[in-house]
Chains A and B, each alone.
Chain A
Amino acid sequence: MKAGSDAEERLVRGQGDFLADLDLDALEACFVRSPYPHARVQSISLPGGRGLTGAQLARLAGPLRVDGPGLKAVPWWPLAVEKVRFVGEAVAVVWAEDRYLAEDLADETEVDYEPIPAGPLHEEAPDGVLYESRREGGDFEAAFGRAARVLERTFKTARQTPIPLEARGVVARWDGAAGRLTVWTSTQVPNLVRTVLASSLQLAEGDVRVIVPVVGGGFGLKAHVFPEELAVAALARHLGRTVRWVEDRRENLLASAHAHEETVRLRLALDDQGRFLAVDAEVSCDVGAYSVFPFSASLEPVTTGQTLFGPYALEAFRLHASGLASSKCPAGAYRGVGMNAAAFATERMVDIAARELGLDPLELRRRNAIREFPTVTAAGRELDSGDYLGLLGRLDAPYRELRRQQAEARREGRLFGIGVGFFNEHSGTGASEYQTRGITTIPGVDSARVRVGEDGTIEIATGGADAGQGHAETYRLLAARELGVAAEKVVVFEGDTDACPPGSGTFVSRGAVGGLTALTEALREVAEKDLAPGLEVTRVVDPKQVFPSGAHLAAVEVDPLGLNPRVIRYLAVEDCGVVVNERAAEAQVRGGVAMGMGGVLLEEIRYSEDGQPLASTLLDYLVPLAPDVPEIEIEHQESPSPLTALGSKGVGEAGTIGAFAAVANAVADAVQAELNELPCSPDRIFHLRRS
């Protein structure tokens, strides 16, 4: 999609061209989805000639599958073949001239299921373990051996789902004469979709074009390749017609991707000065019925494991991480991924330690923060840059002010709490790092091409894919700065595999790491050659992880009757390295914090004991509304990364990660209870206070 300088104005005029707005003369596809969590599909009776079963579609398209160390490579077919493994899994697809008629056909489809009461979901994983790994760093036994004190707690985060306001959607068109497939899809990863479509449908990559329309929010959900994308493309080729599927919210809640259902057991060894010596961590994630593509069942166990106690100096670290299958929607990426659970568990543990030791929570953090950069941590992370004491120092004055307010509030009998969330996170994971993890399904490189038009227009094309972050605006600012041209002379192309250089798409804040590095280098080379018309420079970068960090401060008041927690003040101090576009960076932080507040206070998809999902509408799955979010104060501290062209580190996930820790600690402080499970809902607070 081309983003001209009128792109934003088009959005306020309702001319955004989101996927469902494209006028492509398509048949409407509708999926028939399983009401059973685990069942054998005995037979399917489709309305005359207007549908395909899973077995029939399996002859047209191959499955998604991720292999790698510690992983069980289980196939995920475009439609279930033989058996279903979660409520909402598609077993058949039907089509008609319009959506109403297609839904009628889906209702008329008869499927015989034989429920499977027990037994493994996948023959390949009889024990239900889809991913497992262990790692140890430093002298673990020695560190625990000389501990003055060992604290042990278990933390749980809730199953959630990103809810981009625009759900998923795909349109596929088959050009039989040219043997070419064109797919429009609302995705963060166009090149990956192309690669997978080509291999699943046995086409050459060059014969597949993926176009990304304006995307109505992604938040990680759209960083996957989904079975529906394969099914719709296979159907278009099969029928020789353009086929469209636009997901509805019920499908989105039941069967897109969930996230965040984790149990983190921590043992923390401390010396008699309150110094953290070592951490022993057991991370176990409910990853649902399949290993998502491309991140696999290792996604959350690995990212949580990497991030635990991230900003603290430890002598030793031990981790056992696993991803366990269940009859639930597969778990994938949701803004912050496993880093949210890590920050929540770590920072709750630090507050618990402060309480046990009779120390001020902010002081305990200061005592244990990493002070030297660059450094390699006991958990094996190579921290490129940072100033962690600087971050905590900026909280000092507002923290003391809030403690004064709290003392007053408590005298009045009010439930007023203060929470700190201190964290670092990785961003911009590169190809070689994914390969070290054994993941070969993610390209991991980022790319940019700059072309000087005959009329002096600067054309920028990248391998990223915007989902509302404002890439085009940032690129224009950067081009104007590096080339001295007017921002209006810059045209940006993203999300078209025919028009853009191949890259990894947009997730894990890679845009500000590999993406901006590739673009800056290309711009600088163009500048050196004096913007000669016709000049074209392409840069491909294999980035290395860098580490943004932050310290957040939240104040929460819980009303004593309804026990509803309300965030009344929020300060986010961010260090995303050099801030390239302040407006865009602050928008990311503000939106990210709001999302994290939802993650702590509201969002939860529960399943009944017999495997039925209990949140199938936005009345059951609650996300923050305008009155739930206070003004969010933002401060920037800039520790430039030496590993990126501009010193930037990315800021897409930071707000959410920080809020998972700060808001949870504030609620726990308000109700004076060990609130170690999310969400911090009124009923949970009620039961905790009673016990």
Chain B
Amino acid sequence: MEQSLRVKVNGQAVKREVPPRLTLADFLRDRLRLTGTHLGCEHGVCGACTVLLDGDAVRACLLLAVQADGREVTTVEGMGEPGRLTPLQRAFLEHGAFQCGFCTPGFLATGEALLRSGRRLSRAELPDLLAGNLCRCTGYGPIVDAILEAAGSR
């Protein structure tokens, strides 16, 4: 049995019938073809699927699509515009904050939520705030640098 879902995704109103067991991540990836949200573990540890739900960083693999009903989702595809990257995306490029790039959309979502929170980000604290996202390539240092730079430019 399917349920109706109305959700705003990257600024666009979307209405779909979905099975209740469909995760938000699979809804975004398979139904809307927004494949920038990646799945690294599907059990809420790696953070690759992190998206913004009403501005908060959440794990799209642990939410059902129907739980997003009436809410607003921002994925990596909703960050920046054609021909213009966000300051955070630019900082990721400049600092080499990724190698394979698989974890990047999740870090961008976590980073964006931190930047929007308005809290002061320090080099000492930031790594703890990023402990919900795994990266296997970079050793994290360049990611920390990129987020700090984007925070400084705001």
Main secondary structure of the interface of A (DSSP, over half): loop
| Chain A CB within 8 A of B63 CB | no
- Most B Cβ at <10 Å: residue of A99, A162, A629: A629
| Chain B CB within 8 A of A477 CB | no
Cross-chain contact A249 with B100 (CB below 8 angstroms):
no
Cross-chain contact A632 with B141 (CB below 8 angstroms):
yes
| Chain B CB within 8 A of A468 CB | yes
State how many angstroms separate the Cβ of B148 from the closest Cβ of chain A.
12
Q: Which residue of B lies closest to A468 (CB)?
A: B100
Cross-chain contact B139 with A629 (CB below 8 angstroms):
yes
Cross-chain contact A623 with B93 (CB below 8 angstroms):
no
Distance of A576 Cα from B113 Cα, bound (Å): 39
- Most B Cβ at <10 Å: residue of A9, A216, A468, A590: A216
| Chain B CB within 8 A of A166 CB | yes
Cross-chain contact A98 with B136 (CB below 8 angstroms):
no
| Chain B CB within 8 A of A8 CB | yes
* CB-CB under 8 A for A618 and B134, given A8-B93, A583-B96: yes
Cross-chain contact A590 with B103 (CB below 8 angstroms):
no
| Chain B CB within 8 A of A118 CB | no
Distance of A467 Cα from B93 Cα, bound (Å): 17
Cross-chain contact A166 with B37 (CB below 8 angstroms):
no
Cross-chain contact B127 with A626 (CB below 8 angstroms):
yes
Q: Which residue of A lies closest to B97 (CB)?
A: A12
- Residue total for B at the interface (Cβ-Cβ under 8 A): 56
Cross-chain contact B128 with A626 (CB below 8 angstroms):
yes
Contacts of A166 in B (CB 8 A): 38, 40, 100, 102
Q: Which residue of A lies closest to B108 (CB)?
A: A12
Cross-chain contact of B46 among A165, A590, A627 (Cβ < 8 A): A165
Contacts of B19 in A (CB 8 A): 100
Cross-chain contact of A248 among B42, B101, B131, B141 (Cβ < 8 A): B42
Contacts of A631 in B (CB 8 A): 141
- Most B Cβ at <10 Å: residue of A99, A165, A632: A165
Distance of A65 Cα from B46 Cα, bound (Å): 34
State how many angstroms separate the Cβ of B71 from the closest Cβ of chain A.
20
Distance of A595 Cα from B134 Cα, bound (Å): 12
| Chain A CB within 8 A of B2 CB | no
Cross-chain contact A9 with B101 (CB below 8 angstroms):
no
Cross-chain contact of B141 among A98, A219, A583, A590 (Cβ < 8 A): A590
Q: Which residue of A lies closest to B138 (CB)?
A: A591
B124-152 residues at the A interface, CB under 8 angstroms: 126-128, 130-131, 133-144
State how many angstroms separate the Cβ of A410 from the closest Cβ of chain B.
25
- Among the 9-residue stretches B28-36, B52-60, B114-122, the one with 4 or more Cβ atoms under 8 Å from chain A is B28-36
- Most A Cβ at <10 Å: residue of B43, B79, B85, B133: B43
Cross-chain contact of B104 among A12, A20, A618, A624 (Cβ < 8 A): A12
Contacts of A593 in B (CB 8 A): 139
Cross-chain contact B85 with A12 (CB below 8 angstroms):
yes
Cross-chain contact A470 with B99 (CB below 8 angstroms):
yes
Contacts of B80 in A (CB 8 A): 13
- Most B Cβ at <10 Å: residue of A14, A166, A214, A631: A14
State how many angstroms separate the Cβ of A487 from the closest Cβ of chain B.
15
- Residue total for A at the interface (Cβ-Cβ under 8 A): 51
State how many angstroms separate the Cβ of A106 from the closest Cβ of chain B.
15
State how many angstroms separate the Cβ of B85 from the closest Cβ of chain A.
7
Contacts of B100 in A (CB 8 A): 164-166, 214-217, 467-468
Cross-chain contact of B43 among A470, A591, A617 (Cβ < 8 A): A617
| Chain A CB within 8 A of B21 CB | yes
| Chain B CB within 8 A of A434 CB | no
| Chain A CB within 8 A of B73 CB | no
| Chain B CB within 8 A of A151 CB | no
Distance of A467 Cα from B40 Cα, bound (Å): 16
A168-193 residues at the B interface, CB under 8 angstroms: none
Distance of A8 Cα from B33 Cα, bound (Å): 21
Contacts of A20 in B (CB 8 A): 29, 35, 38-39
- Most A Cβ at <10 Å: residue of B21, B37, B41, B128: B41
| Chain B CB within 8 A of A21 CB | yes
Cross-chain contact A249 with B40 (CB below 8 angstroms):
yes
State how many angstroms separate the Cβ of B42 from the closest Cβ of chain A.
6
Distance of A619 Cα from B108 Cα, bound (Å): 23
* CB-CB under 8 A for A629 and B136, given A11-B104, A618-B41: no
Q: Which residue of A lies closest to B133 (CB)?
A: A626
Distance of A15 Cα from B104 Cα, bound (Å): 11
Cross-chain contact B43 with A249 (CB below 8 angstroms):
yes
19 cross-chain CB contacts under 8 A: A8-B93, A9-B85, A11-B104, A13-B89, A14-B75, A16-B36, A18-B35, A18-B102, A100-B26, A468-B101, A468-B137, A587-B142, A594-B139, A618-B45, A623-B136, A626-B144, A627-B127, A627-B131, A629-B140
Which 4 interchain pairs have the tightest Cβ spacing? Answer: A14-B36, A468-B100, A216-B102, A11-B101
* Apart from the given pairs A14-B76, A167-B40, A587-B142, 4 other A-B contacts in the complex at a CB distance below 8 Å: A9-B93, A12-B104, A469-B99, A617-B43
Binding site for B on A (CB under 8 A): 8-9, 11-18, 20-21, 23, 98-100, 162-167, 214-217, 219, 248-249, 467-470, 583, 587, 590-591, 593-595, 617-619, 623-627, 629, 631-632
